[in-house]
Amino acid sequence: MLRPDASIQFTVWSSTTAPLCPLPGFGQASTMTAALPQSLTFPDCSQLYIRGWQYQEYGHGEAALRAFHELLIMGRQVGHHGWVIAAEQAIAGLSADHPLPETADAWQNPLVSPDLQTAEKCNRAAVLHTQGAWPEAIQAYQKVLSYATQAGHHVAMARCLNGLGLIYFDQQRFALAETRFRAAVAVLADIAAPMQSAIVSHNLGLAHYEQGHYDQAQTEFQKALECWQTGADCLGLALTLDYLGRVYAQKGESWLALGSFEAATDVLNDLVGDQDIRQAAAALLSQMAQFCEQKQHLYLAITYWQEVLAIYQDCSTAAPCIVIWQRLSDLYAQAGYPAIARQYAKRVCQSLEC
């Protein structure tokens, strides 16, 4: 079984807008769990879901709850809303019959390790955050933080501080989020936890980014990159490369921005065969195409939009294709190819008529 306390949450890709955060397909202003010990795939989610219901069928209610909590973490890491919803529904259905211990002496339960108890408490706080119960989530995180601090559980301390930062981030109280993420970075500084350090450094960078502190954001994203490469987490590496590219874009360093975006795309392409990353790749390529349009690199923009189109056609997704055809029509017209522009415009009209 994967240990749920090995995970810490971090914010993810979002779409559009001036500060270049986030993209379609990644969930706007959302959070995502990461830093489980190994790269995860969608079959892992399926196996964990089945295992949870098998535990329930054999009367092991608490084990089933733990399995579904792990599924919630895993689903959020790979960005699959279906598994997240399935896990939340299963947890809601089972919690009434098999509540996890809430009393003060539950921490000392000899049948359950302190690490696992801490993880369950963190999971509960994370679920409250997911449900939008921010005051309750803050209270839950602070309670676990107090215990973890006394017990010297550095990873649990960092997870609680990171969780508090995420709540403030969702509330757009970026300065408060920054202080929590910075504290989490400090807690992890003296222990060997590259994956967790990557996540909190990424989040601290994003808090700086949202406040317009681009130099500080660049520093933190570069720290996160070093940690991701140590831990070999491809999704996290791609995510941080994407945001580093956004920082370069804000600083007017166009070719460094495109280099970071290209590197993120290469990392995602390396995941082909492990899990379906087509939507993520399309979102990132769309961002690159829009960036090239803004910089009047018309031919690069056309190239990226063509790649996005190929992905969506492979996914049999019709609606985004109409938007892309329109973009290609406009770009070819600007580039001086009216005949090609008309062909794409014709496809748009035909699709709308249908």
Q: CATH number for the domain including 285?
A: 1.25.40
- 12 within 8 A of 239, measured Cβ to Cβ: yes
Kindly state the percentage of the chain with pLDDT values over 70: 72
**Are the beta carbons of 222 and 244 closer than 8 angstroms?**
yes
Token pair in block for residue 317? 């997704």
- 74 has pLDDT over 60: yes
Asked if the model's pLDDT at residue 75 lies above 50, the reply is yes
Mean pLDDT of 272-297: 78
| Range(s) of the domain holding residue 331 | 278-354
Residue 61 lies in a domain: no
Would residue 184 count as lying in a domain? no
Q: Give the Å distances, CA to CA, from 135 to 66, 129, 173.
A: 24, 9, 14
Calpha distance 163→144 (Å, rounded) = 11
CA atoms of 347 and 87, how far apart (whole Å): 41
- Measured in degrees and rounded to the nearest 5, phi and psi for residue 97 equal -85, -25
- Torsion angle of the four alpha carbons 281, 285, 287, 291, in this order, in degrees rounded to the nearest 10: 160
**pLDDT tens string 188-243:** 988 888 888 888 999 999 999 999 999 999 999 999 998 887 765 677 788 889 89
Q: Provide mean pLDDT across the span 344-349.
A: 89
Q: Are strands 8-11 and 31-34 parallel, antiparallel or unpaired?
A: antiparallel
pLDDT bracket for residue 37 (50, 70, 90): very low
Q: CA dist 63 to 59, 120, 168, 237, Å?
A: 9, 11, 32, 32
How many domains is the chain built from?
A: 1
CA distances from 131 to 125, 134, 247 (A): 10, 8, 31
Q: Please report where in the chains the tokens 């804000």 appear, as a residue.
A: 250
**pLDDT tops 70 at residue 296:** yes
Q: Which is more confident, 100 or 131?
A: 131
In this model, does residue 5 exceed pLDDT 50?
A: no
**Structural domain includes residue 206:** no
269-294: average pLDDT? 77
List the one residue out of 129, 123, 128, 165 whose CA is nearest residue 144: 123
pLDDT value at 113 more than 80:
no
Spatial distance between the Cα atoms of 267 and 205, rounded to a whole number of angstroms: 20
Domain annotation covers residue 342: yes
CA distance 26 to 321: 18
Q: Of 16, 9, 19, 17, whose CA–CA distance to 210 is shortest?
A: 19
* DSSP tag of 4: G
Question: Residue 12 pLDDT more than 50?
Answer: no
Asked if the structure places residue 157 within a domain, the reply is: no
Which of 19-23, 40-44, 151-155, 215-219 has the weakest average pLDDT?
19-23
pLDDT > 80? residue 108? no
Largest alpha-carbon pair distance within the chain? 76
Asked if the structure places residue 330 within a domain, the reply is yes
What confidence tens digit (pLDDT) does each residue in 133-188 have? 889 989 989 998 888 888 888 888 898 999 999 999 999 999 999 999 999 999 99
Q: Is 80 exceeded by the pLDDT of residue 89? A: no
37: nearest Cα among 274, 231, 291, 239 = 231
Q: What pLDDT does 68 receive? A: 79
Residue 203 has what pLDDT?
Answer: 93
Q: Is 262 left (phi over 0), alpha (psi -120 to 50) or beta?
A: alpha
- Is residue 222 a part of any domain in this protein? no
Token match 């690490």: residue?
115
Q: What average pLDDT does range 65-85 have in this prediction? A: 68
